[in-house]
Structure 1
Amino acid sequence: MGYATTRSLERVASAMGALEAAPIVFEAAQDIPQGGVLLALPALLAVGLLRHSAELYALPKGFYGLSSVLVLLALMALARIDSLEQLRYAAAGEWGNLLGLDRVPEVRTLREKVKLLCGEQGRAARWNAVLAQEWIGQHAIEQSSGLAFYIDGHVRVYHGDLTKLPRHYVPRERFYLRATVDYWVNALDGQPFCYFNQAVDHGLVQAMRGDVLPWLAAHVSVSAEHAARMAADPRVPRFTVIFDREGYSPELFVDLQKERIAALTYHRYPEEADWRAEEFQEQAVKLVSGETVRMQLAERGTHVGSRPGLWVREVRKLGADGHQVSIVSTNFSGEAAPLAAALLARWSQENFFKYMREHFGLDALVQYGTEEIPAAVTVLNPAWRDLNRQVRQKQAECKSLQKLQQNVGLTQPLSEAAVAHYQQHQGQLQARIEQLQPVLEQLKQQRKETLRQIPVKDLPEPDRFTQLRTERKYFLDTIKMIAYRGETSMAATLREELTRSDDARALLRQIYRTEVDLVPDLEAKTLTVRLHHLTQAAHDTAVRYLCEELTATETIFPGTDLRLVYKLGST
């Protein structure tokens, strides 16, 4: 039955199909490594780890039930066990103690459980959508000034050889690599809501039009208070979307205005002339972190786009070096300072990507294999791409020759030989230009007659590709979102007692690695989790405060009637 198996009768019963799932039974244990992850359980449950799982997921009869598997996966994420395979290097019996079982499943068993949970395409997206709608509702309560969402793409590089994915520019690598793109929706503090994978990426504007904005329109509910504000003031938007210059599109702004959705981004084509220094006024700007800073801001109305275009608010921030950052928005309600703070704090989403890559294995390949791309998806026609490259080459050659014509002059002093050489050289250049012109026009005509976009199925055989499997990735990423949100809420609690707020997440990572003692009390119906002291006594006050706050939640361990009690101290 494997190492650390002490509940043999229950395992035999589950193998015979006589047991729905093994009961959760805790025994007293000491010095359980990485047991500190149990401190995150109240936060994980509060975020919604098990709230809707039974409605969408089910497992056949067996020793490991659905709640045990989901709790294990979430605790693994917090313990920085980045993949299912890495669980084989963890102490199976000790980890089993944390779940109220004799041991955690073997990697093969856990992989089979995850495969069963991910058998239906799109179910993970539905689970994430239900959770995201709740998270957005909570976010709306916290953001009394109105909902706002960061939207940005994250390039996930693929180094395998199962398919030849399109190449994407990877900013962190400064190189074009085969990759797939996920477009994430985050809160102003960087906390994630959901993401949309694009096997074929047509850019941020198309991703917003095709997936992100329809999803937000369907899942963002307007409170009665905000609906009253919208009715009283036609300038108040339903919500605001914030993105970088890649999403700058006056046509998109117009369409968003019709849906009462405001846009906030950098001006992609600001006028070259700087605004007068007299226009800027120093204003107090409250950042997302709660910190208040002073900024030099100015505001004007600006017309962007053509046919017919639209008027937007343009806010400029004057830096200490005199550089002016131009911001445009279709949100005409409220002051300019919150707009500047929201856009200039987009680093919170970038920090989220970086943290998830480093600590939660965001870019990890969780499943081998590919699947067909939907037939409706179009890609750039290779024939059009080749013709376009030839057109650009010929245009560049013509411009180079024309520039050479302009730069070539007569040498001094003038002579008949110099004039003759000049005329001969100019004639040769002109002849070459005239020779290129019909070739260029012919290539342009061929390009015009060639479809720019074609369905994936119509690609030539050498250029055809498939997409990486998405269901298991989406399922595990949803659990990682829950883990990140749970860690974020714990960090917020710790910061109340820390002199250096930036140390909160590092301290949590240390807590997750620390040993614990488990003391179940069946009469009092409690499960005491006693965390060992950390490396520095200076953190004891903050950790004790965290334990008190977690105990006050009166969280019941799933599958039992035991209330979790957290304490600090090894004795």
Structure 2
Amino acid sequence: MGEEIGIAASRVHERALAVTGKQAFAPSLFDHQESVLNAGVLFALPALISQGLNTVFKVFNPLPGGFYGLHHIILTLCFMFLCRIKNPEQLKKYPPGELGKLLGLDRIPEAGYFRTKLKQITDQSKCDELHNLLLSSWTKDMPEMFFYIDGHVRVYHGENANLPKRFVSREKLCLSGTTEYWVNDEKGLPLMVLTAELNEKLKIAIQEIIPIILKEVPLPSNPHEPVLTLVFDREAYEPKWFAKLWKDHRIAILTYRKNVRDKWDEDLFNNTDIQCYNTDVTMHICEMGTQLNGCWFREVRRLSQSGHQTAIITTHPSLAIEMTAAKMFVRWTQENFFKYVMENFDFDRMIQYGTESVNQKLSIPNPEYKRLTYMLKKARERKGRVEARLFKKINKNGQPSILEMNTILLKNDDLVQRIDEHNQEIESLLKSRKEVSSRITVQQMPKDQRYNKLIQESKKLKNAIVMIDYRAESALYNVLAEIYKDAKKDGRQILQEIFTSDADMIPDYQKNILRIKLHSLSTPRANRAANKLCDFLNQTETLFPLTNMRLIYETVAL
């Protein structure tokens, strides 16, 4: 009978109830199973719950009656990414019955039906609420209110969406895509993400992010201290705006200074020991006050061995000079986050395909104006190259007299004519550009060229799951760091090996216990680390979601 309704579909009665709509979802029931594929991922469940998994279950409404409930779909997503299964299509490469055992079911849903259930979740349009609740819970645990903001371009190679182009630093090209602005703490842990409507600048994104963060951050007792500090790169550089942020919201900024032309006396720099995210370094730093666009800032510079001076400005009134440098230079933790989730979670990939319209009243740079500007730039470059050839011939034998100049110009009449032609072309382009508005609304664009955007709700859901997964893995990594001396070197590799290892699942319904017995890992030191991790996880007394089964963790290796 199981073969008739699908591979590994053994719970026939409950599936029949699901078809008739007589049950909300099938309960998670565990049998004694040995060598269950990827069952080691259940080691992440306590950390997932601590990082907000239950919040996901509370935000979304229950799915329509059937076999798979909301928690089954969300858990499948969480386990997928931790096992480095990067999209629903890749589920086809894994035995559905084995993955189903992790949920207490006979099998996981087929990829197409899995997408159907995901759509039932995203159609509720509650992902923004979920992100806000997660941000609220995570900011409560932050010792210092430093928020690191940076953009990440999700490159689009399809044909259905018409997206504006944006410079992608990792590709060194201007490519079509969507910009996501991520907010992380100083350890690199993600806090929230904002998707730009049409690749707005970082400053505009920060202005949208500020009200969201202010709702979750408590006011400091000292009225002279900042409510929070924003750390970002030069893209949002605007000194008068920085001063306004402090005046209006008591928000301090920390960023690099642009257009630094002067150099400070190297004798002013002092050797200072600084701790940048658990790493002790010695820097040559110095601080002075500086005035930019009529506004005063604290400026801290770091002197490198090559003599280069890296300038940092801040409006934070009391942050120590060494802490100012440390907070700025730990921005690399956010870059590490981007690199890690791209490689391991493939977080740029969509889990649902499709497009939707953008705000038609949104003001955007006029594509025609940009095209004429580009043509004008190229015409000036062509004129400059011809002028350079002519000047080279004029100055070949030193400074010529007026008579010699006329003779040279007559001999190079073709170059003079080409310069005149370029001048006419430039004048024509300037005249055409003057008649075109530099900015228009989306609605004013030609209909066949009008911008739209990729479906956002499903990507917001994926971003939430990726944030929970990454924070859960990082939490386990921090536990390993306390019990395993080489955690900094290969702690995450050991966790990945645990998640993708087989394990025995042994339920005891009389004691309401589900025992997870992990099989041996690749090295003795990894087994010792896993064994100590079991001791820690067992202290959490975690219950499997929507059951009363307490998880007990063990390892086969002694």
Q: Give the TM-score normalised by the residue count of structure 2.
A: 0.92
State the match for 1:284 in structure 2: 273
Map of 1:300-311 to 2, 5 A cutoff?
300-305=288-293, 309-311=294-296
| Cα 1:253/1:402, change in 2 over 3 Å | farther
* In structure 1, distance between residues paired with 2:400 and 2:24: 102
Residue from 255, 260, 280 that aligns with 2:250: 260
User: Aligned-residue CA RMSD in angstroms?
Assistant: 2.5
5+ residue gaps, structure 1, are none
| Cα 1:391/1:3, change in 2 over 3 Å | closer
Q: Contact 1:79 / 1:512 at 8 angstroms: preserved in 2?
A: yes
Amino acid at match of 1:565: I
Residue from 303, 306, 311 that aligns with 1:318: 303
SS in 1 for 2:102: helix
2:543 matches 1:556: yes
Q: Contact 1:237 / 1:331 at 8 angstroms: preserved in 2?
A: yes
* In structure 1, distance between residues paired with 2:513 and 2:196: 47
State the match for 1:124 in structure 2: 127
| Cα 1:417/1:330, change in 2 over 3 Å | closer
State the match for 2:47 in structure 1: 43
Q: Contact 1:379 / 1:456 at 8 angstroms: preserved in 2?
A: yes
| Cα 1:394/1:104, change in 2 over 3 Å | closer
State the match for 2:232 in structure 1: 243
Q: Contact 2:153 / 2:166 at 8 angstroms: preserved in 1?
A: yes
State the match for 1:158 in structure 2: 156
1:423 Cα shift? 6.1
2:69 matches 1:83: no
SS in 2 for 1:565: strand
* In structure 1, distance between residues paired with 2:209 and 2:79: 30
State the match for 1:452 in structure 2: 438
Q: Contact 1:263 / 1:329 at 8 angstroms: preserved in 2?
A: yes
State the match for 1:369 in structure 2: 354
2:152 matches 1:167: no
Residue from 358, 368, 372 that aligns with 1:387: 372
State the match for 2:216 in structure 1: 220
State the match for 2:512 in structure 1: 525
SS in 2 for 1:496: helix
Q: Contact 1:304 / 1:310 at 8 angstroms: preserved in 2?
A: yes
Residues 370-404 of structure 1 deviation map (CA, whole Å, 9 limit, x = unaligned): 11111132222122123323443454456567666
* In structure 1, distance between residues paired with 2:468 and 2:330: 23
2:259 matches 1:269: yes
Amino acid at match of 1:6: S
* In structure 2, distance between residues paired with 1:18 and 1:256: 56
| Cα 1:397/1:524, change in 2 over 3 Å | same
* In structure 2, distance between residues paired with 1:465 and 1:301: 45
| Cα 1:420/1:86, change in 2 over 3 Å | closer
Q: Contact 1:152 / 1:185 at 8 angstroms: preserved in 2?
A: yes
State the match for 2:534 in structure 1: 547
* In structure 1, distance between residues paired with 2:332 and 2:231: 12
Amino acid at match of 2:290: T
State the match for 2:314 in structure 1: 329
1:421 Cα shift? 1.0
State the match for 2:23 in structure 1: 19
State the match for 1:513 in structure 2: 500
1:409 Cα shift? 3.3
| Cα 1:399/1:413, change in 2 over 3 Å | closer
SS in 1 for 2:507: strand
1:287 Cα shift? 1.2
Amino acid at match of 1:507: I
Amino acid at match of 2:502: E
**Stretch of structure 1 that moved more, 73-82 or 395-404:** 395-404
Q: Give the TM-score normalised by the residue count of structure 1.
A: 0.90
| Cα 1:215/1:529, change in 2 over 3 Å | same
State the match for 2:474 in structure 1: 488
| Cα 1:243/1:6, change in 2 over 3 Å | same
* In structure 2, distance between residues paired with 1:570 and 1:98: 21
SS in 2 for 1:134: helix
Q: Contact 1:50 / 1:67 at 8 angstroms: preserved in 2?
A: no
* In structure 1, distance between residues paired with 2:85 and 2:137: 27
* In structure 2, distance between residues paired with 1:120 and 1:204: 29
Q: Contact 2:59 / 2:129 at 8 angstroms: preserved in 1?
A: no
Q: Contact 1:301 / 1:311 at 8 angstroms: preserved in 2?
A: yes
SS in 1 for 2:162: coil
5+ residue gaps, structure 2, are none
Q: Contact 2:26 / 2:67 at 8 angstroms: preserved in 1?
A: yes
* In structure 1, distance between residues paired with 2:103 and 2:211: 40
| Cα 1:516/1:396, change in 2 over 3 Å | same
Residues 189-217 of structure 1 deviation map (CA, whole Å, 9 limit, x = unaligned): 111112112242132122222x2223223
* In structure 2, distance between residues paired with 1:13 and 1:103: 16
Percent of aligned positions that are identical: 34
SS in 2 for 1:386: helix
Number of matched pairs: 551
Amino acid at match of 1:130: L
State the match for 1:198 in structure 2: 196
* In structure 2, distance between residues paired with 1:512 and 1:416: 83
Residues 409-460 of structure 1 deviation map (CA, whole Å, 9 limit, x = unaligned): 3737989974541464799988877776676566445534432111112112
1:266 Cα shift? 0.9
| Cα 1:552/1:447, change in 2 over 3 Å | same
Map of 1:395-410 to 2, 5 A cutoff?
395-396=380-381, 408-409=394-395
* In structure 1, distance between residues paired with 2:367 and 2:59: 45
**Stretch of structure 1 that moved more, 370-379 or 356-365:** 370-379
* In structure 1, distance between residues paired with 2:412 and 2:67: 87
* In structure 1, distance between residues paired with 2:500 and 2:401: 87
Residues 488-546 of structure 1 deviation map (CA, whole Å, 9 limit, x = unaligned): 10011111122321311111000011111111112222111111111101222221111
1:341 Cα shift? 1.1
2:331 matches 1:346: yes
